[in-house]
A and B are shown apart, each in its own frame.
Chain A
Amino acid sequence: MTTSPVAEDREVFRASFERFAARRADPDAPWLARLRTAAMARFVEKGFPTTREEAWRKTSVARIARTAFKPAEGGVSGAEALAGLGLTGFHGPQIVFVNGRWSAELSTPGAALPGLEVRSLREVLARQPQRLEPLLNRVAGESGNVFADLNTAFVEDGAVVFVAPGAVLEEPVHLVYLSVTPEREPTVSFPRTVIVAGRGSEARLVESYGGKGGAVYLTNAVTEVVVEDGASLDHYKLQRESESAFHVATLAVRQERNARFTDHAISLGAALARNDIGVLFGGEGGEGTLLGLFLGDGERHLDTHTRIDHAVPHCASRELYKGILDGSARGVFDGLIVVRPGAQKTDAWQTNKNLLLSRQALVDSTPRLEILADDVKCKHGSTTGQLDPAALFYLRSRGIAEAAARALLTYAFASDLVQRIRVEPLRRAVEAYLQSRLPSALEIKEAFA
Chain B
Amino acid sequence: MLEIKNLHAKVGDREILRGLDLSVGAGEVHAIMGPNGSGKSTLAHVLAGRPGYTVTVGSVLYKGKDLLALSPEDRAREGVFLAFQYPVEIPGVSNAYFLKAALNAIRKHRGLPELDAMDFLALVKEKAGVVEMDDALVKRPVNEGFSGGEKKRNEIFQMSVLEPTLAVLDETDSGLDIDALRIVANGVNQLRHPERSMLVVTHYQRLLNYIVPDFVHVLVEGRIVASGGKEMALRLEEKGYSWLEKEPAPASAGRP
Which of B88, B89, B101, B103 lies at the interface centre, i.e. has the most chain A CB atoms within 10 A of its CB?
Answer: B101
**Interface flag for B235 (CB, 8 Å):** no
Contact A397 B48 (CB under 8 A): yes
Residues 378 to 435 of chain A near chain B (Cβ within 8 Å): 388-391, 393-402, 404-405, 408-409, 411-416
Contact A416 B98 (CB under 8 A): no
**Interface flag for B217 (CB, 8 Å):** no
**Interface flag for A444 (CB, 8 Å):** yes
Q: Which of the residues A391, A447, A449 comes within 8 Å of B88, measured between beta carbons? A: A391
Query: Known contacts A408-B93, A411-B92, A446-B97; is A399 also within 8 Å of B102 by CB?
Result: yes
Write the chain B residue with the least CB distance to A415. B92
Chain A nearest CB, measured from B203 CB (Å): 21
| Interface residues of chain A: helix, strand, loop or mixed (majority) | helix
**Interface flag for B71 (CB, 8 Å):** yes
Write the chain A residue with the least CB distance to B103. A399
Q: Which of the residues A388, A393, A401, A408 comes within 8 Å of B98, measured between beta carbons? A: A408
**Interface flag for B198 (CB, 8 Å):** no
**Interface flag for B65 (CB, 8 Å):** no
Contact B51 A447 (CB under 8 A): no
Query: Known contacts A397-B49, A399-B162; is A388 also within 8 Å of B109 by CB?
Result: no
Chain A nearest CB, measured from B114 CB (Å): 10
- Chain A residue contacts of B51, Cβ below 8 A: 389, 393
Contact A416 B93 (CB under 8 A): no
- Chain A residue contacts of B50, Cβ below 8 A: 393, 397
Q: Which of the residues A391, A415, A446 comes within 8 Å of B101, measured between beta carbons? A: A446
**Interface flag for B166 (CB, 8 Å):** no
Q: How large is the interface on A (under 10, 10 to 19, 20 to 34, 35 or more residues)?
A: 20 to 34
Write the chain B residue with the least CB distance to A405. B73
Q: Which of the residues B101, B103, B109 comes within 8 Å of A408, measured between beta carbons? A: B101
What are 19 of the A-B contact pairs (CB < 8 Å)? Answer: A391-B90, A395-B98, A396-B71, A397-B49, A398-B158, A399-B106, A399-B162, A400-B73, A402-B71, A404-B105, A411-B92, A412-B90, A412-B91, A412-B93, A443-B101, A447-B94, A447-B100, A448-B93, A449-B94
The 8 closest A-B pairs by CB, nearest first: A412-B92, A449-B94, A415-B92, A399-B76, A398-B102, A396-B72, A447-B101, A394-B88
Query: Which B residues are within 8 Å of any A CB, using their own CB?
Result: 48-52, 71-73, 75-77, 81-82, 84, 87-94, 97-103, 105-106, 109, 117, 141, 158, 162
